[in-house]
Amino acid sequence: IAKEVAKLLEMKAQLGGDEGKHKFVLKTPKGTRDYSPKQMAIRERVFNAIITCFKRHGAEVIDTPVFELKETLMGKYGEDSKLIYDLKDQGGELLSLRYDLTVPFARYLAMNKITNIKRYHIAKVYRRDNPAMTRGRYREFYQCDFDIAGQFDPMIPDAECLKIVHEILSDLQLGDFLIKVNDRRILDGMFAVCGVPDSKFRTICSSVDKLDKMPWEEVRSEMVGEKGLSPEAADRIGEYVQLHGGLDLIEQLLQDPRLSQNKLAKEGLGDMKLLFEYLTLFGITGKISFDLSLARGLDYYTGVIFEAVLLQQENDHVEEPVSVGSVAGGGRYDGLVGMFDPKGRKVPCVGVSIGIERIFSILEQRVEASEEKIRTTETQVLVASAQKKLLEERLKLISELWDAGIKAEVLYKKNPKLLNQLQYCEETGIPLVAIVGEQELKDGVVKLRVVATREEVSVRRESLVEEIRMRTSR
Amino acid sequence: IAKEVAKLLEMKAQLGGDEGKHKFVLKTPKGTRDYSPKQMAIRERVFNAIITCFKRHGAEVIDTPVFELKETLMGKYGEDSKLIYDLKDQGGELLSLRYDLTVPFARYLAMNKITNIKRYHIAKVYRRDNPAMTRGRYREFYQCDFDIAGQFDPMIPDAECLKIVHEILSDLQLGDFLIKVNDRRILDGMFAVCGVPDSKFRTICSSVDKLDKMPWEEVRSEMVGEKGLSPEAADRIGEYVQLHGGLDLIEQLLQDPRLSQNKLAKEGLGDMKLLFEYLTLFGITGKISFDLSLARGLDYYTGVIFEAVLLQQENDHVEEPVSVGSVAGGGRYDGLVGMFDPKGRKVPCVGVSIGIERIFSILEQRVEASEEKIRTTETQVLVASAQKKLLEERLKLISELWDAGIKAEVLYKKNPKLLNQLQYCEETGIPLVAIVGEQELKDGVVKLRVVATREEVSVRRESLVEEIRMRTSR
């Protein structure tokens, strides 16, 4: 049936193209969207804030292709691999759209034998997930990644990643937030002392990862029912995953009779303590929570993991702040580059990914609500005329302005009415109008009008550029 | 066989993922590439020049998804449709990667019922072409498009598009260039008076389009041999397509006994005359050539078409400047939006696309040749220490700097040698070093070192931010 449906869809697509216009479905693919100029203006603001932060931390920037060899992506994402978009086999290589920016980054490092880099990468990634577009969940979405690769002293780069998340979320003024932190080694140690068999670590970790969306009871029954974990082991896990706190909790777990006997957990807890010391120096521990229920879905993490959530607090009736979803996440993945190296040479990495789409949804809703008027162009001046037959003069003047670097527009009409030209400025927020008329041409001047105040001054043509610059500089 | 190969490749890909690291082919897909930080630095320069120009002309910006419904792309590209990348049918919609930014733009206009917009769009497009990467021809490449949609008085937006090409190519200092201009109506009129049957217009147009890569003799034999045109018609075309010039040629053709009898050609020539008048006002006719051999490959053009080529002139032995390839192109496409509108309502459009990859190749080669050192970060200051055990103090200081908006880095080592820290600045171009030492901490100062001159000054800690800002502002 699937084959037949595919055949029919293919035929339909071909007919659509050949037979004519009226059969087109006018839409973007499921889970994707266009950005209008207004949305782009908001998007650029957010990008600017993020890029400024990444550059403040000394990052370089790279770019990679939107698709990779299919084999590059295989075996990196665990249960999520089914969400990868494959390209049709049209002869040649088997390709897939990138699922994140981390695996392409690791491939880039291994391919170019780079052992040391701090880079950011902002680009779209693709997941055949169930879209929830009102909540900012798309099939095509941006990731803004910052990663530090290299062999360094422990937890310094890790702490910087958390500092970056803190800076960006503060800068964007999204309201209160919390950054949850855990460590894969602590999780694995915990699984071991709770009696989870080694072979079930990853799948039980996936279950724990669902705790932010499901209550413990459901997660427990998935562990026991679907994944065959013993009820006793599940209950022991249940006790640990409700713990969260700060340095005090780390100290407490370092004394925990079971965990303290486990090598991995001890290593993880030791590093977590060091991390908190650095975060204290950065002055950001107030928004950091060491949280044993944080697991992160992806297979490739090996050490510290973290996730930032926004806290709902606008509604006063809500007693406790409620998480409204993750806006950033990341962690340490020391083994990923080695998977691509022919000799398995490892390059330790830690990085953070900012979930721009959700942030963007929030800001867009805020702009809508505030009725703030957002300009979508930067035009400084409209070149206009009060009389007819002055198109040539308008074109001559605007050409002079463009060549001097002034942002200028002209209406594409031979004889536009002055009123229409002024109205265009009001609508689009152009602050100045340069009006040419027969008298002005004779006198060698241009009338410059300030749209907001309706003030008009006569400016000598040779001083016009300077005058416009002065009046439009902040 | 093809099917078997596909099956084997699929199996190979799966094995690659499951069996282990050593079988990976470490490469990007055919015809694609990564951008290193250095390449990105050059790329951003070019993008900035282009975006600045687009904004100077009052353009808004939009974005669309990287893939479209397959049916959206069908029937738009003529013979080039075979180069479209399809996605695998994984259930749901049939999707294809965008082939250009023009068809998605037309889809966007029709879908949102926009009849009037001036926008730019910079994004990657995909073509399963034969890559020639040294010459800047890729399967994944950027297009930088500027388009004006709307019903306006003739040739004003068209002239602005040519002005934009002129501004960008001048600004990027790529050497001498020539913008060839023609009109699809003139071509169609010419085909008609030469005796080409209506049904062969598009395919003969495709042959003419090859004149920049093939000599006339080969194009002629394609027309006669493959496409079944009469030798007489071909020879008549051969006479016209060698013509190129300016206003004089337009006047001459308006008097041409055959062309002047053809309605389409007359319309096209009349508009071409008007276009040249506007280009004269813009002062750019020196680099514009009305060229009857220019055809452009794509189906959707309906009026003016143009293409900019760089002229080779560095070698003095070459008598006449030789074209080294197209770096921009575009034209008028008044019917495309109507193909998407359920009622066929038309929105006239004209636009230009800048061929960034070729420009980028040229600039990259130029940077290589000049040994110009390009910085890939913007870091203003490295926070360093002269003695051991000062990691905490370095982290405290850098945190203060970050919070004040200073671009700062620190080496991720507990006890780095001062020499290594200074060397890092030399290598990466960081201009300043803020050195903390025990004595400085006691005195409440920081030693600020200028890397280039080795000058060192003591700065009070509370003045450090101001001092760094002053010293790094241009």
| Contact map slice: A 241-300 vs B, CB within 8 A | 278, 281-283
Decide: helix, strand or coil at residue A310.
Answer: strand
Percent of chain A with pLDDT over 90: 78
- Mutation target vs B (from A138, A281, A339, A411; most B CBs, 10 A cutoff): A281
Give the residue among B54, B73, B57 at the shortest CA–CA distance from B65. B73
For residue B56, give how far its alpha carbon lies from the nearest alpha carbon of chain A (Å): 4
Tell whether B344 lies on the interface with A, counting CB pairs under 8 A. yes
Give the residue among B183, B215, B213, B242 at the shortest CA–CA distance from B309. B213
- Structure-block tokens of residue A262: 């486990």
Tell whether A4 lies on the interface with B, counting CB pairs under 8 A. no
pTM of the model: 0.90
Question: Does residue B19 contact residue B27 with C-beta atoms inside 8 Å?
Answer: no
Q: Which residues in chain B have Cβ-Cβ distances shorter than 8 Å to A379? A: 58
Name every residue whose Cβ is closer than 8 Å to that of residue A205 and which is 6 or more positions away in sequence: A184, A187, A191, A295
Q: Got the DSSP string for B421-444?
A: HHHHHHHHT--EEEEE-HHHHHHT
Bridge partners (DSSP) listed for residue A381? A408, A432
Whole-number Å distance between alpha carbons of A193 and B434: 47
Q: What are phi and psi of A184, to 5 degrees?
A: -60, -30
> In the 8-state DSSP scheme, what is residue B59?
-
Residue type, B301: Y
Q: Which residues in chain A have Cβ-Cβ distances shorter than 8 Å to B407? A: 55-58
Q: Got the DSSP string for B291-345?
A: ETT---S-TT--SEEEEEEEEE-S-TT-SS-EEEEEEEEEEE-SSHHHHHSTT--
Whole-number Å distance between alpha carbons of A377 and A458: 26
- Structure-block tokens of residue A272: 């977590």
Tell whether B90 lies on the interface with A, counting CB pairs under 8 A. yes
Say yes or no to pLDDT of A66 above 60.
Answer: yes
A219-244 pLDDT per residue, tens: 999 999 999 999 999 999 999 999 99
| Contact map slice: A 124-163 vs B, CB within 8 A | 124, 126, 128, 140, 148, 150, 152-153, 156-157, 159, 163
- Parse chain B into domains and list their residue ranges: 37-369, 381-471
First to last CA, chain B: 64
Tell whether A83 lies on the interface with B, counting CB pairs under 8 A. no
Cβ of B409 and A58 within 8 Å? yes
Question: Does residue A177 contact residue A327 with C-beta atoms inside 8 Å?
Answer: yes
Cβ of B32 and A85 within 8 Å? no
pLDDT at B365: 87
Whole-number Å distance between alpha carbons of A112 and B19: 23
For residue A341, give how far its alpha carbon lies from the nearest alpha carbon of chain B (Å): 7
Tokens 């001159």 locate to B453
Element of type H or E holding A247: helix A247-254
A429-455 pLDDT per residue, tens: 999 999 999 999 999 999 999 999 999
Q: Got the DSSP string for B71-83?
A: HHHTTSSGGGGGG
- Structure-block tokens of residue A161: 């990643």
C-beta neighbour count of B397 within 10 angstroms:
25
Residue of A nearest to B374 (CA): A60
A301-343 pLDDT per residue, tens: 999 999 999 987 655 454 555 556 789 999 999 999 999 998 8
Question: Does residue A13 contact residue B71 with C-beta atoms inside 8 Å?
Answer: yes
Q: Considering only CA atoms, give the Rg of chain A.
A: 29
Question: Does residue B87 contact residue B66 with C-beta atoms inside 8 Å?
Answer: no
Higher per-residue confidence, A15 vs B473: B473
Do β-strands B445-450 and B456-460 pair in parallel, antiparallel, or remain unpaired? antiparallel
Give the residue among A295, A283, A94, A91 at the shortest CA–CA distance from A208. A295
Q: Which residues in chain B have Cβ-Cβ distances shorter than 8 Å to A76? A: 17
Give the nearest partner residue to B62 out of A34, A119, A342, using CB atoms. Answer: A34
Q: What are phi and psi of B322, to 5 degrees?
A: -105, 140
Q: Got the DSSP string for B155-167?
A: THHHHHHHHHHHH
Q: Could you tell me the pLDDT band of residue A298, with boundaries at 50, 70 and 90?
A: confident
Residue of B nearest to A30 (CA): B93
- Mutation target vs B (from A48, A60, A389; most B CBs, 10 A cutoff): A60
Tell whether A413 lies on the interface with B, counting CB pairs under 8 A. yes
Does the domain formed by B381-471 have CATH 3.40.50.800?
Answer: yes
Give the nearest partner residue to B341 out of A21, A55, A410, using CB atoms. Answer: A21
- In chain A, what are the helix, strand and coil shares in percent, each to the nearest 5? 45, 20, 35
Whole-number Å distance between alpha carbons of A37 and A41: 6
Whole-number Å distance between alpha carbons of A125 and B456: 47
Do β-strands A381-385 and A408-409 pair in parallel, antiparallel, or remain unpaired? parallel
Tell whether B1 lies on the interface with A, counting CB pairs under 8 A. no
Strand arrangement of the beta sheet that strand A381-385 belongs to: A408-409, A381-385, A432-436, A445-450, A456-460
- The whole-chain average pLDDT of chain A stands at 91
Cβ of A29 and B95 within 8 Å? yes
Pick one of 3.40.50.10950, 3.30.930.10, 3.40.50.720, 3.40.50.300 as the CATH number of A37-369: 3.30.930.10
Residue of B nearest to A15 (CA): B71
Give the nearest partner residue to A70 out of B13, B167, B395, using CB atoms. Answer: B13
Kindly list the distances between the CA atom of residue A167 and the CA atoms of A265, A284, A287, B433, in Å, as whole numbers in the listed order.
30, 9, 11, 23
Question: Does residue A402 contact residue A461 with C-beta atoms inside 8 Å?
Answer: no
**B394 CA to centre of own chain:** 43
Name every residue whose Cβ is closer than 8 Å to that of residue A41 and which is 6 or more positions away in sequence: A374, A375, A376
For residue A340, give how far its alpha carbon lies from the nearest alpha carbon of chain B (Å): 6
Q: Which residues in chain B have Cβ-Cβ distances shorter than 8 Å to A65? A: 28-29, 32-34, 140
Cβ of B86 and A87 within 8 Å? yes
Cβ of A119 and B37 within 8 Å? yes
Cβ of A56 and B124 within 8 Å? no
| Contact map slice: B 442-471 vs A, CB within 8 A | none
Q: Which residues in chain A have Cβ-Cβ distances shorter than 8 Å to B95? A: 29
Whole-number Å distance between alpha carbons of B399 and A160: 9
Question: Does residue B79 contact residue B63 with C-beta atoms inside 8 Å?
Answer: no
Tell whether A391 lies on the interface with B, counting CB pairs under 8 A. yes
For residue B316, give how far its alpha carbon lies from the nearest alpha carbon of chain A (Å): 31
CB under 8 A, 24+ apart: contacts of B242-248 = B242/B216, B242/B292, B242/B293, B243/B291, B243/B292, B244/B180, B244/B289, B244/B290, B244/B291, B244/B292, B244/B293, B245/B289, B245/B290, B246/B276, B246/B285, B246/B288, B246/B289, B246/B290, B247/B273, B247/B276, B247/B285
For residue B347, give how far its alpha carbon lies from the nearest alpha carbon of chain A (Å): 14
Q: Could you tell me the pLDDT band of residue A267, with boundaries at 50, 70 and 90?
A: very high
Tokens 């004209």 locate to B350
pLDDT at A368: 86
Cβ of A402 and B163 within 8 Å? yes
Cβ of A29 and B344 within 8 Å? no
Give the nearest partner residue to B26 out of A91, A340, A344, using CB atoms. Answer: A340
Q: Which residues in chain B have Cβ-Cβ distances shorter than 8 Å to A342? A: 21-22, 24, 26
Question: Does residue A437 contact residue A447 with C-beta atoms inside 8 Å?
Answer: yes
Whole-number Å distance between alpha carbons of B167 and B161: 10
For residue A187, give how far its alpha carbon lies from the nearest alpha carbon of chain B (Å): 24
Q: Considering only CA atoms, give the Rg of chain B.
A: 29
Residues A240-268 have a mean pLDDT of 95
Tell whether A372 lies on the interface with B, counting CB pairs under 8 A. no
Whole-number Å distance between alpha carbons of B284 and B168: 13
For residue A31, give how far its alpha carbon lies from the nearest alpha carbon of chain B (Å): 10
Tell whether B28 lies on the interface with A, counting CB pairs under 8 A. yes
Question: Does residue B448 contact residue B468 with C-beta atoms inside 8 Å?
Answer: yes
Whole-number Å distance between alpha carbons of A323 and A381: 46
Name every residue whose Cβ is closer than 8 Å to that of residue A32 and which is 6 or more positions away in sequence: A138, A139, A140, B65, B67
Tell whether B215 lies on the interface with A, counting CB pairs under 8 A. no
- Structure-block tokens of residue A77: 């994402």
- Structure-block tokens of residue B472: 């790094």
Q: Which residues in chain B have Cβ-Cβ distances shorter than 8 Å to A110? A: 26
pLDDT at B326: 87
- The one-digit pLDDT tens for each residue of chain B (474 residues) are 777 777 777 666 655 444 444 456 899 999 999 999 999 999 999 999 999 999 999 999 999 999 999 999 998 887 788 999 999 999 889 999 999 999 999 999 999 999 999 999 999 999 998 888 777 789 999 999 999 999 999 999 999 999 999 999 999 999 999 999 999 999 999 999 999 999 999 889 989 988 888 899 999 999 999 999 999 999 999 999 999 999 999 999 999 999 999 999 999 999 999 999 999 999 999 999 999 999 987 788 999 999 999 987 655 454 555 556 789 999 999 999 999 998 889 999 999 999 898 899 889 888 888 888 899 999 999 999 989 999 999 999 999 999 999 999 999 999 999 999 999 999 999 999 999 999 999 999 999 999 999 999 999 999 999 999 999 996
Question: Does residue A105 contact residue A95 with C-beta atoms inside 8 Å?
Answer: no
For residue A20, give how far its alpha carbon lies from the nearest alpha carbon of chain B (Å): 7
